[in-house]
Amino acid sequence: MSHERLSYLRAIADEWFEHEWIRALDRAMVDFLFRSGETNVAMLALAMLTSHQAGRGLTSLKLEDLKASPERCLALPPSGRSHDVTLPSKLLNELSVFEGDWQTSVSLNSDSSPLVLNKSSDGERLYLRRYWYCEHYNSQNLEMRMDNTLEVNDDQLNMTLDALFGDTSKQLDWQRMACANAARSAFSVITGGPGTGKTYTVVRLLVVLQQQFQQAHGRPLRIKLAAPTGKAAARLSESINEALSELQTKLPETLQPLLATIQIEASTVHKLLGVIANSRRYRHHEKNPVRADLIVIDEASMLDIEMMTALLQATPTQAQLVLLGDKDQLASVEAGAVLGNLCEGAEKGGYWSSTINSLASTHAQRDALIQYQDEAGPKRLQHVVMLRQTRRFEQAIADVANSINDQNTRAIEHFFSAPVSEYDSNIVTWLMLEHDRQDSFDLLIKQGFSHYLRALEQWREAPAEQRDTAAVLDAYATFQLLTGLRNGPWGAHALNRYVADVLGVEADRWYEGRPVMVTKNDYGLRLNNGDIGVTFRMPETGRLRVAFFDSHGKVKWVLPSRLNHVETVYVMTVHKSQGSEFAHTVLVTPQHDSPVLTKELLYTGVTRAKKKLTLVVSKKSVFLNAVSKRINR
């Protein structure tokens, strides 16, 4: 082995890390493998590059793309960064990575190799071994579950669906179709944008599956509900129980007893699997599966490939698994895009005629589904139903979200060219900061938080028995600033300091009115990552307390000294906002492009708005470029 070539590789890794092109983990991969006995410099370089791709959320490195355009394949150097350092192509040329046969020049696919070379019709791809195992396992496991078709009593099923959804014989009710599809399969997916009724649908699905299971097995269905984050799990529990209460007044007497058997509380996926402290393993796995007949996972777009593998391993082979989520939202922070991959092409249906026959209960429904028929459609789409009618948004917000999701830059250009009056008189507005409208941004901040600050003042002045803490928490949740970045001048940290300056407070110390977000689950305090609290000064003692909503919607108080993992949250990242909604959402985009700025990020940010949306655009070309980019995992 040439020590000069190894030194050269290390020098490049150090240089890239210094410029924040790669992670410390990617750089450390070189030394780790060298100490483990790897002597092939090309192998070390490829391991570093494949690790870099994993850091970008990709499970593999496509060799054809790497050879054709390494800078584009690796997103190096990132847009807006200096180009005066060694480019990836120089590294690849120096190492002659593409000379000779892969199998002989690099010791791939041996049991000890950290990399696996996979050859398929899609070309050659390099995987870190654990991601290759996850893809291989998930593919086989899902194939097995998709082949497991459940026997149902069609007449009984349709009678129950009629009771739950009313007479839909003359229209295409996708929520009903989702229930009909999930009732027949051991694995199913219900996808749809915000406001399309995923929770509404899954509550009715629980009634359907509970009835089917009790008739077949003579006992109640054991149900487990989970979501990737504690905040999403708490929202799911709240939504499910509210929907069950509403349903109780609408169901016929024959179905009423079923509701008492499905009063459930959601947990995080980690808790469902049984986290083992300081370990990557879980208590539940193939030899010790979760005791459940039905597992429902909400916000499945957040599931990364390793978490999906752990979930499949822990789900009994005879149990039903249902995934819920928005396929167009941001994918998981870690590598993989499980929901997006499963739902690719779902908007077109891709249903076989046999699938349409199982979904439709009338000739009218079959006729309406014909446009979604495709006998060449993939098997996975026979297990996916996409909800299409949005009920939550104002139409103007939906129009912007759809334009972004469709990557319709012409529609966005038209939106930006329309005249803008005072922002608070419109449903969707924008501020173009590149035209020197900083004062308008400051005014937006002051007016946006004014409702919250007034509620806080009213709380302070009210007699003790009349203080409405919940009203202050609700007032804070009506307005939220979002950004796609965490660091940098337009990241959450910097913008939180900027907002604090505009409001005349300090960003990172404890004071009355400071809003904070929990950044790590605290099981002792029963606080979840993403929970938001507001700081109050108790008039009687002068001491500070932080108020949060608990999982039942009641206020609980916590001493600031007990909160070890919190940060100020006048501004949060779009990633942190997933699963939340705000009456007025302000999405701020930076002056310079970034690999994380994609149409998925913009779509996710825009769809957090319920009644009003403001886009604060630092540079129009950066926003439009983000619309034209998409995550490709």
- List of residues 6+ apart from 28 with CB closer than 8 A: none
Q: What is the DSSP letter of 427?
A: S
The CA distance from 3 to 96, in Å, is: 16
3-state secondary structure of 224: strand
The CA distance from 229 to 236, in Å, is: 11
The residue assigned the tokens 């139409």 is 395
The CA distance from 630 to 156, in Å, is: 44
To the question of whether residue 196 is assigned a binding role by annotation, the answer is yes
- The HSE-up count of residue 405 (CA atoms within 13 Å, CB side) is 20
To the question of whether residue 199 is assigned a binding role by annotation, the answer is yes
Question: Do residues 259 and 242 make contact, with C-beta atoms less than 8 angstroms apart?
Answer: no
- List of residues 6+ apart from 158 with CB closer than 8 A: 361
Selection from 616, 578, 624 nearest residue 597 by Cα: 624
Alpha helices in 69-217 (DSSP H): 70-74, 88-95, 102-105, 129-146, 154-165, 174-182, 198-217
Q: What is the DSSP letter of 322?
A: E
3-state secondary structure of 285: strand
To the question of whether residue 198 is assigned a binding role by annotation, the answer is yes
Length of the chain: 633
Alpha carbon 27 to chain centroid, angstroms = 28
Measuring CA to CA, how many Å separate 271 from each of 104, 223, 479? 45, 15, 31
To the question of whether residue 123 is assigned a binding role by annotation, the answer is no
Going by the annotation, the residues of the binding site for ATP are: 192-199
Going by the annotation, the residues of the binding site are: 192-199
